[in-house]
Amino acid sequence: MTTAAQRFATEGFGPENLPYASFSPTGARPRLGVRLGDRAISLGELATGVEAKGGPQLAATARTAADAPDLDALLAAGHTAWQPLRAWLQEVVTTEGLEEVVEAASTPVSDIAVHMPFTVADYVDYYASEHHASNIGRMFRPDQEPLLPNWKHLPVGYHGRAGTVIPSGTDVPRPKGLRPEPSGTPSFGPSRRLDIEAELGFVVGGSAPQGEVSVARAGAEHLFGVVLFNDWSARDIQGFEYVPLGPYLGKSFASSISLWVVPFAALAQARVEPPSREHELADYLDDSVDGPWGLDITLEVVLDGESLSHPPYRTMYWTAPQMVAHMSVNGASLRPGDFFGSGTVSGTEVDERGSFMELSWGGKEPLTLANGHEQAFLEDGQTVTLRGTAPGANGSVIDFGDCVGTIVPASGAAG
C-alpha cells in the first residue's frame, strides 16, 4: 500500500504545495485541477472517484467549485470553501489506497494545455520594494531624495488594466507609443526600452462589499493564492506619460502570470518578519497582528536560459495583508478575482535586481551576457522566464512553476 504523494510527488510539487490551475488534457474541456509532481489532477474527477471509493468526504461548500473549469467559483465561495478543499486534497493524496483514484483523475503535465486560472476582476499594481523604489527614484529624479515623502507611510499603488493580465506562455508584442526625444517633441513607434518587472501577484477571494478589510481579515479570509508576475514595462513610453497621474500605456499592454496558483496556506513556513518600519504606521496598516506577514520567497530572472538575478521577496517593505487593507480602507469593495502585484522585487545587491532598468542602471551600464552580447533592454525574440521557490512544510520546497513570455516584433511598420 502506498499514497499518491509517495508515488507522484516531486521536489517543489509535493502534498505541501498543491497549486491550482485551469487545464485541459489534449482536446478536452478546461477543468480545475491541482498539481502533484508531474501530474495535473482534475478536482471534479477526483471528487467523483473518491466518493465511489468511500474515501474522505469533500465538504458540500467546495464540491460545486471542484467541478468548475477554473478558480472563479472557488474564489466566489470564499475561504469557508477553499480551506476544507485544501484539507481534503491533502488528506486524499496522503491516504493509503487512494493512489489509483488520484492517478485515474490525473494527466501528465506534459500532455495538458493550461489556461488563465481565474477571471481577473480589478488589478492594482503596488510599489512595495524600498530598494526598487529607491533605485528608480535615483534614476528618474537624481536631484531629489530617492523616496518621496509618502512612501514609508502607505503602500503606493495605482489601478492597472485587468483585461491584459495574460497567462504564462503568451507572446508579448513590443508595444508602441510616444517616446521622448532629445528635441522635446516625442516620436511614435515601438518601445526602445522594453523591460520586465519581477513581482509576485496576489489572488483575492471572497467579497467585502463595504471594503475596510483589516490586515487580520485580509490574511485569514481574502488572500487565496500567489503567482509569479512579470509586469512588462515600456520605460520610454512610461517616462514620457507618467506625470502627473502615473503609469498608463507603458504598463497596460501585457502583464504575465504563472499558471499554477500557489495557495497562500502553502506559504505558512515562508512567513518572516518584514523589514523594520521607519515610521509608526496608521492603525489600519499595523500588520504586527497575527503575523509575521513577510514572505521568504526567492525569485529568479532568466533571459534566454541565462540566470541574471535572484530578487529576494523577504526584503519587501509592505506586506500582502497591508496592501489589501490599503486598497479597501476608503470603503472600496473587494470582489472575487481581485488581483494585485507587489511591485518589482529588488534586493540590495546588483544580482538581486528585478528589472533591466536597474540591472543596466537606466541603460547606462549595459549587461554583458554569457555569449558576449551587450544589451540594456529587451530585444525581439528574447524570452524571459521568472521562477520562484519558498520553504514549505516538513522541510519541503514550494515551487511556483515558470512565468514565461517571449517578445515578438511590434505590429505594423517599424518606427
Please give the positions annotated as active site.
132
Sites for Ca ion among residues 222-281 (CB under 5 A):
231
* Position 195 contacts Ca ion (CB under 5 A): no
In angstroms, the CA 227 to CA 210 distance is 27
Q: How far is the CB of 39 from Ca ion (least distance, A)?
A: 33
Query: Interaction with Ca ion in 53-92: which residues (CB under 5 A)?
Result: none
Residue burial 224-261, b: 16+ Cβ < 10 Å; e: rest: bbbbbbbbbbbbbbbbbbeeeeebebbbbbbbbbbbbb
Shortest Cβ distance from residue 341 to Ca ion (Å)?
Answer: 5
Of 321 and 354, nearer to Ca ion (C-beta) is 354
User: How many residues form the binding site for Ca ion (CB under 5 A)?
Assistant: 3
Closest residue to Ca ion in the complex (CB): 231
User: In this complex, which beta carbon is closest to Ca ion, that of residue 110 or of residue 150?
Assistant: 150
Q: Which is nearer to Ca ion, 84 or 246 (CB)?
A: 246
151's grid cell? 512612501
C-beta atoms surrounding 51 within 10 Å: 14
What is the C-alpha to C-alpha distance for residues 294 and 272, in angstroms, rounded to an integer? 5
Q: Examine residue 125 and tell whether it contacts Ca ion (CB under 5 A).
A: yes
Question: Nearer to Ca ion by C-beta: 157 or 206?
Answer: 157
Q: Which stretch, 46-54, 191-199, 330-338, 385-393, contacts Ca ion (CB under 5 A)?
A: 191-199
Work out whether 358 is an interface residue with Ca ion (CB under 5 A). no
Query: Does the footprint of Ca ion cover residue 197 (CB under 5 A)?
Result: yes
Using DSSP bridges, classify how beta strands 20-25 and 187-190 pair: parallel, antiparallel or unpaired: unpaired
Question: Looking at beta carbons only, is 49 or 354 nearer to Ca ion?
Answer: 354
Stretch of 50-58, 196-204, 355-363, 397-405 contacting Ca ion, by CB under 5 A = 196-204
CA angle 120, 256, 28 (to 5 degrees): 70
Q: Considering the complex, what minimum distance in angstroms separates the CB of residue 399 from Ca ion?
A: 23
Report the alpha-carbon distance of residue 299 to residue 313 in Å, rounded. Answer: 7
Torsion of CA 100, 396, 37, 83, to 10 degrees: 70
Q: How far is the CB of 48 from Ca ion (least distance, A)?
A: 41
Question: What is the pattern of x (binds Ca ion, CB under 5 A) and - over residues 214-233?
Answer: -----------------x--
User: Cβ of residue 353: shortest distance to Ca ion, in angstroms?
Assistant: 14
Contact footprint for Ca ion (CB under 5 A): 125, 197, 231
